[in-house]
């Protein structure tokens, strides 16, 4: 039987590094409010330990990454399944950093893979300063993430500067652009991408930037997009991730309740997390 320690939830109320509209520091609060309204065949409270929010956050992004990574490492010290809620997407780096450190004490090296659901590459160099567009550059350049085990899913061409495309090519990062995912092709392509990643990885992290969804479905984000995934596609991708036994963490970032409409984006984020946990529960019994 599962115990309460099997699943955990952690918030990172920090938007110091966000490029775009501020307000994502309130994301964890809005997420929990929406999650608390959900009901179903199992109770979130029975199986998910809410670890609260990362505390002691500062105006310095680098310090906050270390604080968040430490909490995530603690969360994953016992093969836990996590949902990490931001906050800016720069904490996608914190998510990978903390999980990587939690796996470092294994007898043999653990190959960590990552699938980023996003309109943006988030491969920006951290100079002159770290931004919410820097997480995967930081993870790759610090040796935490091997670009061979990294997939960028849903990338929109107009959202990314030429230098970012060049960096992705130089690192041979697998990119699944959004223009190949229209007309009902998103879910089959997501299954295919996750299956491919599972072949070369021992553990997988999913990083879901909510601006991957069209603003019609997710208006409450830092950088809203005219085009993107539907709410149903975002939720189904979370379900599929929950069904993959190697997937141990779902990060949900850039939830910005200050710009939300009728809690639409908060409810999308909470519903995606609920179905991720639900699938993990059914596969772990």
For the chain, the C-alpha Rg in angstroms (whole number) is 17
DSSP state of 245: T
Tell whether the model's pLDDT for residue 285 goes beyond 60. Answer: no
pLDDT digits (tens, 9 = 90+) for 227-259: 999 999 999 999 999 999 999 999 999 999 999
pLDDT digits (tens, 9 = 90+) for 162-217: 999 999 999 999 999 999 999 999 999 999 999 999 999 999 999 999 999 999 99
In the block, which residue shows the tokens 């609920």? 274
CA distance 14 to 24: 7
Those residues whose C-beta lies under 8 Å from the C-beta of residue 128, and which sit 6 or more positions away, are: none
Domains in the chain and their CATH numbers? Answer: 4-284 (3.40.800.10)
Least confident interval from 1-10, 55-64, 136-145, 179-188: 1-10
Phi, psi for residue 144 in degrees, rounded to 5: -85, -35
Q: Is the pTM of this model over 0.85?
A: yes
- Point out which residues pair with 95 in neighbouring strands: none
Helix (H) or strand (E) holding 284: helix 264-284
- What is residue 2's predicted lDDT score, i.e. its pLDDT? 39
Those residues whose C-beta lies under 8 Å from the C-beta of residue 161, and which sit 6 or more positions away, are: none
| Residue 3 confidence class, pLDDT cut points 50, 70, 90 | very low
pLDDT digits (tens, 9 = 90+) for 22-38: 999 999 999 999 999 99
């Amino acid at each position: 039987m599962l115990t309460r320690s099997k699943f955990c939830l952690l918030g990172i109320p920090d938007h110091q590094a966000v490029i775009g509209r501020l307000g994502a520091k309130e994301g964890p609060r809005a997420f929990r409010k929406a999650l608390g309204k959900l009901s179903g065949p199992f109770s979130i409270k029975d199986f998910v330990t809410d670890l609260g929010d990362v505390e002691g956050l500062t105006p310095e992004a680098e310090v906050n990454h270390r604080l968040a990574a430490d909490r995530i490492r603690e969360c994953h010290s016992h093969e836990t399944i996590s949902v990490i809620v931001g906050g800016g997407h720069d904490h996608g780096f914190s998510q990978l950093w903390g999980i990587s450190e939690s796996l470092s004490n294994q007898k043999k090296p653990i190959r960590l893979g990552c699938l980023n659901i996003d309109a943006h590459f988030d491969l920006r160099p951290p100079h002159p300063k770290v931004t919410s567009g820097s997480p995967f550059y930081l993870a790759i350049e610090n040796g935490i993430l091997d670009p061979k085990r990294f997939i960028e899913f849903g990338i929109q061409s107009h959202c990314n500067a030429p230098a970012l495309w060049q960096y992705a090519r130089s690192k041979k990062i697998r990119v699944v652009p959004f223009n190949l995912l229209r007309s009902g092709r998103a879910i089959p392509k997501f299954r295919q991408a996750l299956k491919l990643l599972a072949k070369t990885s021992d553990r997988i992290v999913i990083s879901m930037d909510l601006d991957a969804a069209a603003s019609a479905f997710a208006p409450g984000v830092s950088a809203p997009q005219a085009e993107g995934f539907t709410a149903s596609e975002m939720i189904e991708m979370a379900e599929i991730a929950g069904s993959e036994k190697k997937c141990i963490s779902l990060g949900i970032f850039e939830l910005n309740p200050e710009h939300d409409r009728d809690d639409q984006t908060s409810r999308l984020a909470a519903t995606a997390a609920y179905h991720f946990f639900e699938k993990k529960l059914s596969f772990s019994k």
